[in-house]
Amino acid sequence: MTVAVVTTPFQFEGAYKMRLAQEGIEKLKPNVDTLIVIPNENLKKVNEKNLTMAKMFMIADDILRQGVQGISDLITQHGETNINIDFADVETTMKGKGDAIFGVGVSRGENRAVDAATQSINNPLLQDSYIDGAENILLNISSDESLAYDEVEEIVNIIRSSADPDVHLIYGQTFDADMEDSIKVTVIATGFAKDRSMKKQLDSSMFSKQQTKKDIDKDSYISSDMWSEIQGEEKKEKNQAQYLSSRNQNDLETPAFYRNKSGINLKP
């Protein structure tokens, strides 16, 4: 089984480099079972003042590490009192499934179960930060032995409610005394509709055919094809307006006798 975890360029690197990244990802997809995309641009969502470029790259590397380590830990971390997830479970969820979302949530305290589950399915740094419509989910909960049945039920219900109604959910549990009062929820979701592909996310859902240049946010990415299409639509509308204006002016300069004879009617 082959899993690819990749990043895409920052917006300031330009449309050409982004287009190359898109083309590379499209060529990569047929050769991997699962693809996780992490846009560098989303690192701006890290709420930290005076964030240096070096720190941003460290965060990007750490996200890549979390993705790879999260998958391997599911397979390798076993125990006598655990509900173990093995390679067959990972393969069932990820083999030949295309785009994937992974998330890790960690929380402690009174609402730790809800908080950790919510964090795990709302990762703002991923290409898609939601698991709506996922048909396959691998869920693992790590905690000490204070984990209550009600907390497990809350976590599973939150994850399941965000996925496809018929989602195939594989559940695992790991007891770790070092976690003390914390709960860690790891989620891998696959089996999304094909229209959630990266190219359509960047081009189609962010920029509809009806948009004009004034509608486009300066921080958004747009492809050269879409830009040409928008300019073409605006030019078409401008030409139509000029034609109507010219026709109405000519009509007003034409005597009523000739307008009526030619079938032109200017009555309101």
Query: Which residues fall within 8 angstroms of residue 181, CB to CB, at 6 or more apart?
Result: 108, 109, 112, 144, 146
Residue-level pLDDT at 221: 38
CATH class of 3-202: alpha beta
Residue-level pLDDT at 201: 46
Residue-level pLDDT at 58: 83
Distances (CA, A) of 116 to 125, 152, 158, 163, 178: 16, 11, 10, 17, 17
Domain boundaries, the chain: 3-202, 214-261
Structure tokens at 213: 């240049």
3-state secondary structure labels for all residues of the chain: CCEEEEEECCHHHCHHHHHHHHHHHHHHHHHCCEEEEEEHHHHHHCCCCCCCHHHHHHHHHHHHHHHHHHHHHHHHCCCCCCECCCHHHHHHHHCCCEECEEEEEEEECCCHHHHHHHHHCCCCCCCCCCCCCCCEEEEEEEECCCCCHHHHHHHHHHHHHCCCCCCEEEEEEEECHHHCCEEEEEEEEECCCHHHCHHHHHCCCCCCCCCCHHHCCCCCCCCHHHHHHHHHHHHHHHHHHHHHHHHHHHHHHCCHHHHHHCCCCCCC
Residue-level pLDDT at 182: 92
Could you read off the pLDDT tens digit of each residue along the chain, which spans 268 residues? 888 888 889 889 999 999 999 999 999 999 998 888 888 888 777 666 777 888 877 877 777 777 677 777 777 766 555 777 878 888 888 888 888 888 888 999 889 999 999 988 887 666 655 788 889 999 999 888 889 999 999 999 999 988 888 899 999 888 888 888 899 998 988 888 754 544 444 443 333 344 444 444 434 434 444 545 555 555 555 555 555 555 555 555 555 544 454 444 444 4
CB atoms within 10 A of CB 111: 12
